[in-house]
Amino acid sequence: MFDLRLNQNNLRGTIPASLGNLQQLQVLVLSGDMLNGSIPKEILSIPTFSYVLNLSSNSLTGSVPIEMGKLNAVQVVDFSLNNLYGEIPDSIGDCSSLIILDVSRNSFNGSIPNSMGNPNLCGGVPELQLPKCIVIKQNSDGPNLKEDDELCSISMLEIGLTCTSNLPEDRPTMRDGAI
């Protein structure tokens, strides 16, 4: 099997680790279901993942496993709209074919991993492969972008601000989200 799309089927329960046995899988879409539990590291070890891994719009918890870095051929990863937390693993920088990474609407903390952008490699380095789009919606507790974070090879960085206050003067502004 190369392509498995079970999105918006009201699936419940955890993502079976046995999906990792589908060693020819290139596309996995399990978005818009009612899945919970953590992301099984077994599915992050499928060597042929080359297109899409979409687990968005579920109730997944836990952190993104370090095995994420094994997906060196995947182009699109969407973990948005879940309950993931912790730091985004530095190993995500090993996803050398990554074009779009969407981790918005979670509870990550910490900084964007340095592996996503190395200030010493910016410029005309043809081997530098960074995602063309990273979507980060700032929640009340992270992730934080520091002024010295370098993401210069990324074509688009979308930062959405969560406006949770009823009082306009307490809402974050784009200036609050500026790097």
Which string of DSSP letters, residue by residue, matches 67-134?
GGGG-TT--EEE--SSEEEEPPPGGGGG-TT--EEE--SSEE-SB--GGG--GGG-SS-TT----SEE
Reported as a single tens digit per residue, the pLDDT across 87-101 is 989 898 888 888 888
Please state, in angstroms and rounded to a whole number, the distance separating the CA atoms of residues 103 and 98: 13
- By three-state DSSP, how is residue 1 classified? coil
Using the predicted structure, report yes or no on whether residue 3 has a pLDDT greater than 90: yes
Which residue carries 């912790």 as its tokens? 86
Structure tokens at 171: 């809402």
- By three-state DSSP, how is residue 163 classified? coil
Q: Can you give the pTM of this predicted structure? A: 0.68
Contacts of 159 (CB under 8 A, 6+ apart): 136, 137, 138, 145, 177
Reported confidence tier of residue 141, pLDDT bands at 50, 70, 90: low
What is the domain count for the chain? 1
Greater model confidence, 61 or 49: 61
Q: What is the pLDDT of residue 129?
A: 43
Using the predicted structure, report yes or no on whether residue 66 has a pLDDT greater than 50: yes
136 alpha carbon, distance to own chain's centre:
9
Mean residue pLDDT of the chain comes to: 77
Reported as a single tens digit per residue, the pLDDT across 5-60 is 999 999 999 999 999 999 999 999 999 999 999 999 999 999 888 999 999 999 99
Domain range for 11: 3-177
Burial letters for 81-118: b for 16+ Cβ neighbours within 10 Å, e otherwise? bbebeeebbebbbebeebebbbbbbbebeebbbebbbb
The CATH number linked to 13 is 3.80.10.10
Q: What is the pLDDT of residue 176?
A: 54
